[in-house]
Amino acid sequence: MTKENIAKLVKKAIKELQQEKVFPEFAVPEILVEHPEKQSNGDYSVNVAFKLAKTVKKNPPEIAEAISTRIKTSKTVKKIEAVSGFINFYLSELFFQQELNLILQQKDKYGSQQSKKTAVIDYSAPNIAKPFGIGHLRSTIIGQALYNIYQFLGWKCIGDNHLGDWGTQFGKLIYQIKKKTKKDWPKLTIDELEKLYVEFHQEAENCPEMEEEARNYFKKLERGDKEAKAIWQACVDTSLKEFDRIYKLLGIKIDYVLGESFYGGEPMQKIVAELAKKKISSQSQGATVIMDNSLPPAMVLKSDKATTYFLRDLATIKYRLKTWQPDLFIYEVGVDQSLHLKQLFSAVKRLGWIKKQELIHVAHGLVRWEHGKFSTRKGQTIHLEDVLQEAVARAEKIIKTAEFSEKEKKEIAKTVGIGAIKYNDLSQHHSRDIVFSWDKILSMDGNSGPYLQYTVVRCQSVAKKAKIKSLGEISFVDLNEFEENILKTVYKFPEVVQTAADNFSPNLICNFAYDLAQKYNLFYNQCPILSPENNTRLALNAVVEQVLKNCLKLLGISIPKRM
């Protein structure tokens, strides 16, 4: 019995009342179904009577009463009641029993769906020759969670890592590398590359000709000059090695790595021509720009005809449309690129490339550091790998030290540390700035990754200790409040996943998981599960374990074997 089912029942009742002329004719509005705050008000509640008061010319309690008496109870809905204008629905024991059985049968598929749709998810996208930043970490973690969620709902998902590996900055870098280093380019580290790039800007302040030189180098690169290409390739290789280490630590593998450089040459020139032909672009001081009444101009080609980030993004959309025919494009990119993406989406629509497909910018906020808690290796830039390593090191300190072998401890610490970082990011709405506080991230009793991991491990160990092989007949009558809390939470998981997908908000899954884990731990402390062994409680233990596992899987958080 889902929200949609309830909405249908209500809609049907309203239509009947219209046929019988109790209600006048009107288009039935969308029926909002909620879970009441108080359990005594049932499992679902509908407020449509308030919406109809004007049209029906009756007061809400009367309307609610008329609708509720029209809906018959069934095997799954045991009671329908009108209370102060609300229509409350009470689900039956049989419903809960069936749902619990479904969880135990479907296991890791519980909550999943089928779909014929395709989504391209643009996420991670770090920049070559720069360290993997904390913003890219957010994009990687949230983007991967969205990927997992849509895939779980049956979508064909394509993850595309749009590496920042092209652009005028590479002209600067190549110029500086040639000027400052001997030929051994592949040996340059990412830190050295970053330093060279910063130096270029410092030196160019007193030497403006350098800018011109850099432009020439980028032109050379765009024309396929051998030496420029070789230097560029060395930068790409070095960076990718570094990025791969981070992806490995995070346990993330993105389907495609098609950087900006992938979209060079002719396809881009065709787009430039199409923009001109459709009168979408115009010339401004030698550059090609898109004018849009409601937005600032977007640059397509620079005055020296060099391509831009914007043009490469246009080419990327064209490629994705042709290659995958997606229904949905998700861009998990920082909020600082909101304007860029607005301009991009607007241009694509004006070009007529997109009909019913949706383009969505899931914009993440900044990461702020709790004052003084994290020292960087040098200066301002925070190196992500250091953060991840520190998370693992700190996790090692909080796990029980005595019981585990050194190897086991290392493994657990990695799972816990990385899981903690991911959960910290995912548990808040993506648009919010997040504060990085080690104590909170690694807290064992708060809203944290380790807390959820620990709860699953606890369920698993209870199940292991139980001697019962099969749960057999389970009864769900006369449950105490702790048991009932669990029963009345787990069944909401499929709905939560759907809402998280609709709103591009993995944090809703975190909220749900945290709530369930708290209810479970309360139950665990209050109700002996094993002495004497109790089938109903073991069943509750099993469904919590399963549903929490499903949550964590969607969030991309692994579960340690022990903790």
Write out the residues near ligand ARG by the rule CB under 6 A.
Answer: 122, 125, 127, 162, 164, 313, 316, 331, 333
Residue 387 Cβ vs ligand ARG, minimum distance, rounded to whole Å: 17
- Half-sphere exposure at residue 14, Cβ-oriented, CA atoms within 13 angstroms: 25
Tokens representing 151?
């895939």
Q: How far apart are CA 244 and CA 238, in angstroms?
A: 10
Q: How far apart are CA 412 and CA 416, in angstroms?
A: 6
Burial of 450 from C-beta contacts in 10 A (0-12 / 13-18 / 19+): buried
Q: Compare residues 9 and 333 and give the one whose CB is closer to ligand ARG.
A: 333
Residue (of 522, 508, 354) closest to 430 by Cα position: 508
CB–CB of 534/452 below 8 Å? no
34 — phi, psi (to 5°)?
-125, 165
Strands (E), 92-171: 118-122, 156-160
CB–CB of 437/370 below 8 Å? yes
Q: Compare residues 169 and 518 and give the one whose CB is closer to ligand ARG.
A: 169
Q: Compare residues 42 and 164 and give the one whose CB is closer to ligand ARG.
A: 164
Residue 160 Cβ vs ligand ARG, minimum distance, rounded to whole Å: 8
Q: Compare residues 164 and 326 and give the one whose CB is closer to ligand ARG.
A: 164
Residue 334 Cβ vs ligand ARG, minimum distance, rounded to whole Å: 7
Q: How far apart are CA 248 and CA 384, in angstroms?
A: 13
CB–CB of 407/420 below 8 Å? no
Burial of 235 from C-beta contacts in 10 A (0-12 / 13-18 / 19+): buried
C-beta neighbour count of 457 within 10 angstroms: 17
Residue 169 Cβ vs ligand ARG, minimum distance, rounded to whole Å: 11
DSSP secondary structure string for all residues of 342-394:
HHHHHHHHHHT--SS-EEEEEEE--EEEPTTS---SSSSPPPHHHHHHHHHHH
Residue 163 Cβ vs ligand ARG, minimum distance, rounded to whole Å: 7
Within the chain, what is the greatest distance between any pair of CA atoms? 90
Q: Tell me, what DSSP letter sits at residue 291?
A: E
Q: How far apart are CA 96 and CA 543, in angstroms?
A: 12
CB–CB of 506/554 below 8 Å? yes
Q: Compare residues 96 and 263 and give the one whose CB is closer to ligand ARG.
A: 263
359 — phi, psi (to 5°)?
-115, 120
Q: Compare residues 3 and 430 and give the one whose CB is closer to ligand ARG.
A: 430
In the chain, the amino acid numbered 491 is Y
Residue nearest to ligand ARG (CB): 164
Q: Compare residues 61 and 334 and give the one whose CB is closer to ligand ARG.
A: 334
**Which residues face 243 on adjacent strands?**
none
Residue 314 Cβ vs ligand ARG, minimum distance, rounded to whole Å: 10
Strands (E), 226-354: 281-284, 287-292, 295-301, 328-334
Residue 190 Cβ vs ligand ARG, minimum distance, rounded to whole Å: 15
Residue 292 Cβ vs ligand ARG, minimum distance, rounded to whole Å: 18
Tokens representing 493?
């998981």
- Half-sphere exposure at residue 33, Cβ-oriented, CA atoms within 13 angstroms: 19
C-beta neighbour count of 496 within 10 angstroms: 21
Q: Compare residues 239 and 415 and give the one whose CB is closer to ligand ARG.
A: 239
Q: Compare residues 126 and 494 and give the one whose CB is closer to ligand ARG.
A: 126
Q: Compare residues 301 and 563 and give the one whose CB is closer to ligand ARG.
A: 301
Residue 427 Cβ vs ligand ARG, minimum distance, rounded to whole Å: 23
Residue 135 Cβ vs ligand ARG, minimum distance, rounded to whole Å: 7
Residue 367 Cβ vs ligand ARG, minimum distance, rounded to whole Å: 14
Q: Compare residues 138 and 215 and give the one whose CB is closer to ligand ARG.
A: 138
Residue 316 Cβ vs ligand ARG, minimum distance, rounded to whole Å: 6
Residue 123 Cβ vs ligand ARG, minimum distance, rounded to whole Å: 8
Q: Compare residues 343 and 455 and give the one whose CB is closer to ligand ARG.
A: 343
Burial of 469 from C-beta contacts in 10 A (0-12 / 13-18 / 19+): exposed
Q: Compare residues 43 and 122 and give the one whose CB is closer to ligand ARG.
A: 122
